[in-house]
Amino acid sequence: MKYGIVTGASKGLGEGIAKKMLDKKINLIAVSRTENQEFRQAAANAGVQYEFYPCDLSSVSDVSNVFNEIAAALFNREPETVYLVNNAGVIEPIDLAGALEETAILDNIQVNLAAPVLICNLFLKKAEETGSQLYIANVTSGAAERPVHGWSMYCSTKAAINMFTRTAALELNNRQSTSKIIAYSPGIMDTGMQETIRSSTQDAFIEIGKFREYKEKNMLKSPGEVGEALVRLLLDGDVENGRVYYVNELL
Ligand SMILES: NC(=O)c1ccc[n+]([C@@H]2O[C@H](COP(=O)([O-])OP(=O)(O)OC[C@H]3O[C@@H](n4cnc5c(N)ncnc54)[C@H](OP(=O)(O)O)[C@@H]3O)[C@@H](O)[C@H]2O)c1
């Protein structure tokens, strides 16, 4: 059986990925603080299993408890293929280094970097123990590759997840593991995260005008389309370990 685990599945890109997995008859394990109310019916229609695990990814103990529970239940079923998508992310704090709020700094590191690394670490171990084929996609951003005025935490944590992905892939290749890990850069999408960006201030985020224009000029991609492209890539199976895939090369 095939299973997809998607963090931040409740809305935005995560919702797009989760819905496409259900369409493709992949059993879904959704993780976020709130539940997407459409998944249960969509899973029933597709004839696949659906489980929701509430989890606050900004809490180390929540991540540890919930993902150990998920991994124990999942790998006991001896799944043929597991698709893990670390999608949940936060843009905040949007402010200048020197004015950042301490809790927001730590939450950003925890949700965008520590949680996906902890989850990857656990799943890579379990997949090797059980012989399941594991594909991991860590959702990243173009901000991983350029400094953006006001986004020091977001740029830093996304850059770090790219390097974690590349390094873990190097290690997997060197030990001829069948597990694969990639990063996925989804481009700019019409989601809640973009609303947060547009509602920041010019002082905190110098490029705000450009981002408001993206919305006004309908330049934001739909998260459904971007999610579909990732699911297509993963199901194809022929992914290049450690590569950062950009949505535009997949559409
Ligand atoms: N939108 C863009 O233009 C854009 C561009 C580049 C990269 N990305 C990346 O794409 C990914 C998805 O972003 P999005 O635009 O879809 O964002 P979004 O609409 O704000 O959705 C974020 C998702 O993450 C979950 N989440 C946030 N904090 C969480 C926490 N503490 N614990 C558990 N879940 C949490 C939310 O679920 P709950 O609120 O239910 O917990 C929600 O499902 C992120 O990694 C983001 O960095 C987005």
pLDDT (tens, 9 = 90+) of the chain, 251 residues, equals 999 999 999 999 999 999 999 999 999 999 999 999 999 999 999 999 999 999 999 999 999 999 999 999 999 999 999 999 999 999 999 999 999 999 999 999 999 999 999 999 999 999 999 999 999 999 999 999 999 999 999 999 999 999 999 999 999 999 999 999 999 999 999 999 999 999 999 999 999 999 999 999 999 999 999 999 999 999 998 999 999 999 999 99
Q: If you measure from the C-alpha of residue 15 to the centroid of ligand 1, how many angstroms do you get, rounded to a whole number?
A: 10
**What residue ranges line ligand 1, CB within 6 angstroms?**
8, 10-14, 32-34, 55-58, 87-90, 111, 139, 141, 186, 188-189, 191-194, 223
Q: If you measure from the C-alpha of residue 119 to the centroid of ligand 1, how many angstroms do you get, rounded to a whole number?
A: 16
Q: If you measure from the C-alpha of residue 171 to the centroid of ligand 1, how many angstroms do you get, rounded to a whole number?
A: 28
Which pLDDT does position 237 carry in this prediction? 81
Query: Catalytic: which of 3, 53, 83, 154?
Result: 154
Give the ligand 1 atom nearest the CA of 188: 3
**Measuring from atom 41 of ligand 1, which residue has the nearest CA?**
33
Query: By C-alpha distance, which of 3, 95, 28, 14 is closest to 57?
Result: 14
**Residues 6 or more apart in contact with residue 129 via CB below 8 angstroms:** 75
**Measuring from atom 23 of ligand 1, which residue has the nearest CA?**
8
Output the domain CATH number for residue 152: 3.40.50.720
> Which of 28, 33, 230 most suits a substitution to test ligand 1, by most atoms within 8 Å of the C-beta?
33
> Which of 11, 28, 58, 190 most suits a substitution to test ligand 1, by most atoms within 8 Å of the C-beta?
11
Which pLDDT does position 5 carry in this prediction? 98
Which pLDDT does position 137 carry in this prediction? 99
Give the ligand 1 atom nearest the CA of 191: 19
Q: If you measure from the C-alpha of residue 209 to the centroid of ligand 1, how many angstroms do you get, rounded to a whole number?
A: 22
Q: If you measure from the C-alpha of residue 156 to the centroid of ligand 1, how many angstroms do you get, rounded to a whole number?
A: 16
Which pLDDT does position 71 carry in this prediction? 98
Q: Give me the domain span that covers residue 100.
A: 2-250
Burial classification of residue 135, based on how many CB atoms lie within 10 Å of its CB (0-12 exposed, 13-18 middle, 19 or more buried):
buried
Count the domains in the chain.
1
> Which of 29, 191, 211, 212 most suits a substitution to test ligand 1, by most atoms within 8 Å of the C-beta?
191
Which pLDDT does position 21 carry in this prediction? 98
CA distance 126 to 193: 32
Query: Residue 249 corresponds to which tokens in the numbers above?
Result: 């090369």
Known catalytic residue at 154: yes
Q: If you measure from the C-alpha of residue 177 to the centroid of ligand 1, how many angstroms do you get, rounded to a whole number?
A: 30
